[in-house]
Structure 1
Amino acid sequence: MRYTSALSPALAAIAAAALSIGAPAAASAAPAPATAASEPAPPRLLIALAMDQFSADLFAEYRSHFTGGLARLATGAVFPAGYQSHAATETCPGHSTLLTGNRPAHTGIIANTWIDQSVARPKKEVYCAEDETRAAADPKDYVASVGHLLVPTLGERMKQHWPAARNVAVSGKDRAALMMGGHVIDQVWWWKNNGFVTLDGRSDVPAARAENAAVAKLLAKGAPALPLPAFCAPREGAIQAGSATVGTGHFALAAGDATAFRASPRLDQATLDLALKLVDAMKLGKGAAPDMLAVSLSATDYVGHATGTQGPEMCLQLATVDQALGAFFAALDARGIDYGVVLSADHGGFDMPERQNRAAMPQVARADAALLPKALSAAVAARTGLPAQGLILGDGAAGDFWVKADLPPADKARVVEAARAVLASHPQVAAVFTAAELAATPMPTGSPETWTLIQRARASFYAPRSGDFVVLLNRGVMALPQPGPGYVATHGSPWDYDRRVPILFWRKGMAGFEQPSAVETVDIAPTLSAWINLPVPQGAYDGRCLDLDSGPGSTCGVK
C-alpha cells in the first residue's frame, strides 16, 4: 500500500486504488440463495471493526465531517449510545466483550493487567494476553496467548457450526486481535516493534510479508506531515502537560521511527491493508460457509493517550481513518463480496485535564499520587502497624488493589478496612468496594446508563482474578497522576465518557435507522449470530439480539 497523506475529496479514490495495488482480482461470487422470498440471504462475510478509544462523544463531535467509511456506516443501523457497561473500561476487557457477547465478569478479562501473587517470577503482574507460564526469548518480552479468555468468540462459534468457516483477526495490538479472534483462529496478526507478527509457533504468510515490506519501505524513507483539514484548524494550539507539549502535531514521520508510525493514522491504514490482503489470499466471503474478519484499529487510542482527545492530532486521526475505511469498503465492493459490518469501540476516552481546564471544566484533575499503591501501603501500615513493603499491590491510582497474599486472614481484613477508611476520606474517591461486596451483588440488568457504581464494578468482577477491593475515582478525575511524552491522557473510569461508544451496523441495501436509547456492546455477538442464522445455546450471551430490520420484519431469531 502507498500511504497517502492527502485529505482532498479525491482521497477515498486514491486510497482505494492504493489498497488494491498488487492484490489479485477476486472472482465474482454467485449470490447465495435467499432464505425466503421476502428477505435477503445472510451475508457471506462478517466484518467486526473496533476503533480503540472511539467514544460516543468523538462520534457525535465529528459525525458531520465524515465523508468516507464512517459516513457510510452512519447510513445503516446506528446506535449512538452503545455501552461498554462495566467499570474497567480498558482495552483488553472492552475487546473481550465485542465478539463474545459477554461482560468481563464472564470473559475473565478484568483489566489489561492484574496481580497474581502465585506466579513464579518477581514481577507479579499478569498481562491479559500472555502465557505467564512460559518465558520469552527476551526477558523483557512475553509469550502472547489468548488463554485467559474464558468464553468462545463468535468466530469460534461459527467454525464449530460450519467447519469450513474462516476466523481471522488483525490489529495494531495483540490483546485486541486475540480477544476478538479467540482460541480457534485461522490467521491472527498484530503490530509489534516494526511490523506485523503472529502467535508463537505459527508460520509467516505471504500477505503479512508483503504488508511488512510495504511498511519497511515507508519507514526507511519517512514521510512528511499530514495536511490538516480546515475543520481541524480551530483545535490547533500548544498545550503543556507535564514535560510533554501537544496540540501542534501533524504526524510527520522521521526515517526509521517505528514508534511514531504506531501512534499515527498510518498504523490503521496498514492494518486495513493487511486485512484486505488476507481477504484476497484466503478468498474470505467466497467459501462454502460465512467467514469472520475482526479488525481492531489501534491508532485512535495511541493518539488519545499521547495527545488527548480534543487537539488537532485526534481530529486529523479521525479524518484519516474515515477515508481509509472508505477505501477499504470500496475495495471489498470491487471484489463482489457480500459483507455485513459492525463498528464499535473497546472503550471511550477523556481529554487531558490541562486542556479541559481551559474549556469550562476547571474541576477536571489528575489523580493524587497518594492514591498509588506504594503511598496507600504506607498510609495503611501507619494505621495497622504492619510492614508497608508490598502491603497493597496494584498498577495505578484506581481499579483493583490486592493485599499481600501471605498475611493471616485477620490481618488481610484489617488492611482492607484500613484502606477503605483512608480512601473514604480522600476527596477524589467516589467509592470503594470489597471483593465480598462485589461477589454478593447480582449481575446487573436493565439499561446500562442507570446502573449504580457497584453494578458497574460487578460487571468487571471475576473472583479468581479480581482484587481484594476496587477503587473508583470521582467523575473528571483522571487516573494518571503524572503526564509525560507519549502519555498525557487515559481512560478506565466507570463514567460514561469512558463507557459510551457508538455501535454501527451496515450492509448494502439495508434500510437505515437510528436508535438513541442505550444498548450494550455485548449485544453485538447475538445480533451478528442472528444475522447469519447461527444457532447459539440458550444463555450463551449476556447481551441480546438487536433487530436490524427497520420494517415489520426482524433479523433476530434463527430462521
Structure 2
Amino acid sequence: MISISRKFALAIAAVTLPFSPLMAQETVPAVSQTVSPRAPRLIVAISVDQFSADLFAQYRQRFTGGIARLTEGAVFPSGYQSHAATETCPGHSTIMTGNRPAHTGVIANSWIDQSVTVGSKVVYCAEDVSKRTAGSKDYVASVGNLLVPTLGEWMKRANPAARNIAVSGKDRGALMMGGHDIDQVYWWKGKGFATLAGRELGPTALAQNAAITATLAKGAPAFPVPAWCARQNRVVQAGKASVGTGHFALKAGDSDAFRASPRLDRATLDLATRLVDEQKLGKGTVPDVLSVSLSATDYVGHSTGTEGAEMCIQLTQLDAALGDFFAGLDKRGIDYAVVLTADHGGFDMPERLQEQALVQSSRVGDDVSAAALSTALGKRYGIEAKGLILSDGPAGDYWLRNDIAPGLRGKIIDDAKAMLMTSPQVEAVLSAAEIAATPMPTASPETWTLTERARASYNPLHSGDFLVMLKRGVVPIAHAGAGYVATHGSPWDYDRRVPMLFWRKGMTGFEQPSPVETVDIAPSLAALIGLNVPEGSFDGRCLDLDGGPGSTCGVPR
C-alpha cells in the first residue's frame, strides 16, 4: 500500500476527524487564529473556469464591471496552475488548499482504477466509488479523493463558528474549493442546483431553483453583441459544428443551453448572494469564507472556442454579473476581501487558429490513442490486445493492464514510449518512475521543465504508468462535434497561466508581472485573517498584498 506523506495525513486528521489513529499515535500540530480588528470578515474566493491569462489580457481594456474593480487591487497577471494536468478538478484543488495536485491527490478530472469492481474503471475525481451500483450511470458526489484540507476547513478547525460555503456550476468546482468540512455546498445539476447526498436543499437554493424554473419556462432573448466583438462574429466550421455567431438565445425548457451560457454564472452568483444573507456571512466575530466557482466560461470555451462572438459575450456578461455581485456585498456593509483566479487556461479550436497565423495547430490523430497502442503491442507480444493500455483520453496518464507479468511491464512501457515518440504530434512520454524520481520543482514556474510540470501533478495513488504530452498547439480532441470543439489540459502555458486578482476596499493596489502560483492563494488569505496552520501545510507561499510599506504576511520589511 502506498502511504500518503505524513504531514498531509496529519493535516487531514487535524481538520476532518474528531479522532483518528494518527492522533492517537502523536500530537497533531495545532491550528490557531488571531483575528485582528483590521482583518476582513468575509473571504470571497472566485474561480472563473477556463479564464486564461490570455483572455484576461485580451479583454482587460473592455472590462467595466466586477473584473475592472479587481484590477484596482493587487494584480498578478501571470499566475500559474503550475502542474501539467491543467484540468478543472486538479486546478480547483490547488486554489484553496495551497497544494499542488501531487499532494492534493487530484491528478486529473478522472483516472483509471483497476481495482474497481462495479461499473467502469474510470473514476471521476469527485465521486464516491464505494457508492456505485451496478448498471447505474449516476455517481454519488464526494470530496473523498481530496487528500489535504482547504482554507475553509482550517478556519473551522481554528474556530467552529466560521462558516465555509461553496457554490459552483460544477460539483468538482464547489467540492474541491470547499473541502470536507463544509456548511453549505451547491452545484448545477440538470435543471437547477443540487447538493451532497443525504443533505436537503436549503430555502435559498430552493428559491434560486424556482427562479431558474421560471426562466426556463418562458425562455429568454439573445444577448447583444458588443461592438468590439464584430470581427469575431463570423461562422467557423469545426467538423459538423458551426460556431462563432452564437448569441445565447434560450428556447423554453432548454436547460443545456442555460448551462452553457452567461445565465449560469448569473444564477450561481445570485445563489451566492442569497447564501450571504441566509448564513449571515461576514457578520460574525470570526471571518467566514465563500467559494464561488463560475463554470460558464469553460462550457462556452469547449462548445465554441475562445475567439468567437460567444466568448466575447460571455466575458462581457461575466464582468457585469460580478459587478452586480460586488455591489450587493457593498450594500450589505460587509468588510470582504476577494481573490479571483482560474482553475486552468484554454486554447481555441485548430480550425480558427489556422486562419489566425497558427498554422501548426491541429487535432490529435488516432495513432496516439490507447486503443491503437493496445492493438500494436498486443500483436507484438502475442497477448490479449483489448484493454492492454488504458486511458481516459488521447493524452495525459496511460495505464498498463494490471494482469501483465512484472517482468514484461517495463518492456511494454518502453515500447509504448518508443512508438509514441515516432508521432510528430507527441512532445514527450515520461514513465511514472522517471516522474517520481524528479524532485519537486522550486524555481519560478515559467522555467520548469516538462518533467517538473509532470512531477507537480504526480501522485502514486492515482497517476498512471506513463504520461503522454502532446506538442504545443495539438488539441487533444480527435474529432470535433457539437458542444465540444476546443479544450485544455496540456502542460503548455496557454493552459497553465491564469490571472490572480486580489481586492479589498481601501487597499493599496499594485501590479506584479512576475510569475506566482495559485498555491500561493491559500497561504496569502490565511495570513490576511491571522490564521496560523502547521508548518509545511502549504506548497505555496504568502504573497504580500499591501502595495505600500506594510505587509499582509506578518513579516516586517
Paired with 2:289 and 2:415, the residues of 1 have a C-alpha distance of: 49
The match for 2:482 is 485
Equivalent positions of 1:190-269 (< 5 A) are: 190-269=187-266
**Could you tell me which of 42, 45, 49 is aligned with 1:45?**
42
Name the SS of the counterpart of 2:532 in structure 1.
Answer: coil
Amino acid at match of 1:335: R
Q: Does 1:285 align with 2:282?
A: yes
The match for 1:312 is 309
CA shift, 1:122, in A, is 3.9
CA shift, 1:558, in A, is 8.1
Name the SS of the counterpart of 1:292 in structure 2.
Answer: strand
CA shift, 1:237, in A, is 0.5
The match for 2:423 is 426
The match for 1:324 is 321
The match for 1:171 is 168
Paired with 2:143 and 2:80, the residues of 1 have a C-alpha distance of: 24
CA shift, 1:551, in A, is 1.3
Q: Does 1:130 align with 2:127?
A: yes
CA shift, 1:223, in A, is 0.5
CA shift, 1:135, in A, is 2.6
The match for 1:147 is 144
Amino acid at match of 1:236: N
The match for 1:24 is none
The match for 1:183 is 180
CA shift, 1:203, in A, is 1.7
Q: How many residues align?
A: 523
Amino acid at match of 1:340: A
Amino acid at match of 2:55: L
Paired with 1:34 and 1:541, the residues of 2 have a C-alpha distance of: 20
Equivalent positions of 1:503-518 (< 5 A) are: 503-518=500-515
CA shift, 1:371, in A, is 1.1
Contact kept? 1:533, 1:558, Cα under 8 Å? no
Contact kept? 2:167, 2:291, Cα under 8 Å? yes
CA shift, 1:138, in A, is 7.9
CA shift, 1:160, in A, is 0.3
Amino acid at match of 2:138: D
TM-score using structure 1 length: 0.92
Contact kept? 1:383, 1:418, Cα under 8 Å? no
Equivalent positions of 1:517-536 (< 5 A) are: 517-536=514-533
Q: Any stretches of 5+ residues in structure 2 without a counterpart?
A: 1-33
CA shift, 1:137, in A, is 9.8
The match for 1:14 is none
Contact kept? 1:194, 1:258, Cα under 8 Å? yes
**Could you tell me which of 490, 496, 517 is aligned with 1:499?**
496
Q: Deviations over 1:378-411 (max 9, x none)?
A: 1222333322111000011100000000111112
Equivalent positions of 1:458-477 (< 5 A) are: 458-477=455-474
Paired with 1:443 and 1:336, the residues of 2 have a C-alpha distance of: 44
Paired with 1:369 and 1:61, the residues of 2 have a C-alpha distance of: 33
Contact kept? 2:118, 2:132, Cα under 8 Å? no
Equivalent positions of 1:4-43 (< 5 A) are: 35=36, 41-43=38-40
Contact kept? 2:35, 2:530, Cα under 8 Å? no
Paired with 2:280 and 2:327, the residues of 1 have a C-alpha distance of: 16
The match for 2:292 is 295
Paired with 2:403 and 2:135, the residues of 1 have a C-alpha distance of: 30
CA shift, 1:219, in A, is 0.3
Paired with 2:177 and 2:541, the residues of 1 have a C-alpha distance of: 18
Q: What is the percent sequence identity of the aligned residues?
A: 67
Q: Deviations over 1:468-511 (max 9, x none)?
A: 00000100011111110000001000000000000000000001
Runs (4 or more) in structure 1 with deviation over 4 Å come to: none
Paired with 2:252 and 2:412, the residues of 1 have a C-alpha distance of: 52
Amino acid at match of 2:488: H
Q: Deviations over 1:142-186 (max 9, x none)?
A: 000000000000000000001100000000000000000000000
Amino acid at match of 2:337: G
Q: Does 1:404 align with 2:401?
A: yes
Paired with 1:295 and 1:216, the residues of 2 have a C-alpha distance of: 22
Contact kept? 1:136, 1:143, Cα under 8 Å? no
Q: Deviations over 1:319-362 (max 9, x none)?
A: 00000000000000000000000000000000000000000011
Paired with 2:41 and 2:314, the residues of 1 have a C-alpha distance of: 31
TM-score using structure 2 length: 0.93
Paired with 2:230 and 2:168, the residues of 1 have a C-alpha distance of: 30
Q: Deviations over 1:441-461 (max 9, x none)?
A: 111111000000000000000
**Could you tell me which of 90, 114, 117 is aligned with 1:117?**
114
Paired with 2:193 and 2:35, the residues of 1 have a C-alpha distance of: 38
CA shift, 1:283, in A, is 0.5
Q: Deviations over 1:408-461 (max 9, x none)?
A: 111211210110110111111111110111111111111000000000000000
* RMSD, aligned α-carbons: 1.3
Moved more, 461-470 or 129-138: 129-138
Contact kept? 1:535, 1:558, Cα under 8 Å? no
The match for 1:88 is 85
Equivalent positions of 1:331-346 (< 5 A) are: 331-346=328-343
Q: Does 1:540 align with 2:537?
A: yes
Contact kept? 2:119, 2:134, Cα under 8 Å? no
Amino acid at match of 2:187: W
Paired with 2:106 and 2:469, the residues of 1 have a C-alpha distance of: 18
Name the SS of the counterpart of 1:459 in structure 2.
Answer: helix
The match for 1:379 is 376
Amino acid at match of 2:190: N
Name the SS of the counterpart of 1:541 in structure 2.
Answer: coil
Moved more, 328-337 or 383-392: 383-392
CA shift, 1:34, in A, is 9.2
Q: Does 1:159 align with 2:159?
A: no
Contact kept? 1:404, 1:412, Cα under 8 Å? no
Amino acid at match of 1:472: M
Paired with 1:356 and 1:227, the residues of 2 have a C-alpha distance of: 25
Paired with 1:288 and 1:119, the residues of 2 have a C-alpha distance of: 46
Contact kept? 2:119, 2:133, Cα under 8 Å? no
Q: Does 1:72 align with 2:56?
A: no
CA shift, 1:100, in A, is 0.1
Contact kept? 1:432, 1:471, Cα under 8 Å? yes
CA shift, 1:232, in A, is 1.2
